[in-house]
Amino acid sequence: MAKPNYRVKKYNSAERPSLKALVVWKDKADKRQRKFFETIKEAETFAQLRETELLNQGREVLGFPTWLRVSAQRCQEQLDAHSKTIDDATAFYLAHLEKQKASLPIEAAFAEYYRGKEAKGLSPDYLAHLRSIFGFFKAAFPGKIVSDFTVSEIEGWIASLDKAPGSRNAMLKYLSALFAWAKERGYCEKTRRAQSTSRSRSKVRSAFSRPRPWSRS
């Protein structure tokens, strides 16, 4: 039979006459600990409760897979640098997944957006221009979820295009309209509308250089 971790002992001291028992044990750091009681019964009750608690903790550990324990520890070590917990990270990621579920890929968003424009009877030239512009955008971000786009990401991509200033301005204008439409349908957050502000346009316009006609080549 294994020795108990919490051992009850009689205690007798002239300096502390009211204390008749103590419980001794070793903590996680293997340091000796003790607690005094006025009766043997109180000490035995304390020891039994702690033994039961220790046994239950051991069973919990046995039911906790090693890979999951290691993964949780590794994640927590990384989160410590940001003063966050695994619960914080889980809540954040679940919220992110919910946003993605409410959104859709850029290709699907453009298809829906384009059908709306087509249904309004807009000119063939306008629709062709729309297809051309968004063809470039979709090719640059295949399969990306609308809610995952950021203003800086889109502005940076537009600024990197080897196109004329007018072509880049047109791209910004059409993308601003697309994301404003997506926001109204709940496919992305309100911050997407920032792309259509004059400040955003001026930032992209300031990066313009090397004029070239708009084309796929």
pLDDT of residue 12: 93
- CATH at residue 125: 1.10.150
Number of domains in the chain: 3
Query: Contact at 8 Å (CB) between 5 and 54?
Result: yes
Q: Are residues 17 and 38 in the same domain?
A: yes
115 & 151 share domain: yes
CB 214 within 8 A of CB 164: yes
Among 102, 124, 148, the domain boundary falls at: 102
In a domain, 91, yes or no: yes
85 & 59 share domain? no
CA 158, CA 150: separation in Å to the nearest integer? 13
Segment-wise mean pLDDT, segments of 10 residues, the chain, 217 residues: 84 93 87 93 93 76 72 90 91 84 86 91 89 88 89 88 84 88 82 41 37 38
Asked if 127 and 197 sit in the same domain, the reply is yes
Supply the range of the domain harboring residue 86: 69-102
Six token digits for residue 178: 């697309």
Query: Does residue 36 sit in helix, strand or coil?
Result: strand
DSSP secondary structure of 99-165 = HHHHS-BHHHHHHHHHHHHHHTT--HHHHHHHHHHHHHHHHHSTT-BGGG--HHHHHHHHHHS-S-H
Helix axis angle for 106-119 and 165-184, nearest 10°, is 90
Pairing of strands 7-10, 32-37: unpaired
- pTM of structure: 0.47
- Is residue 52, in this structure, part of any structural domain at all? yes
Does some domain include residue 122?
yes
Please report whether residue 152 resides in a domain: yes
213 is a domain residue: no
| Any domain includes 2 | no
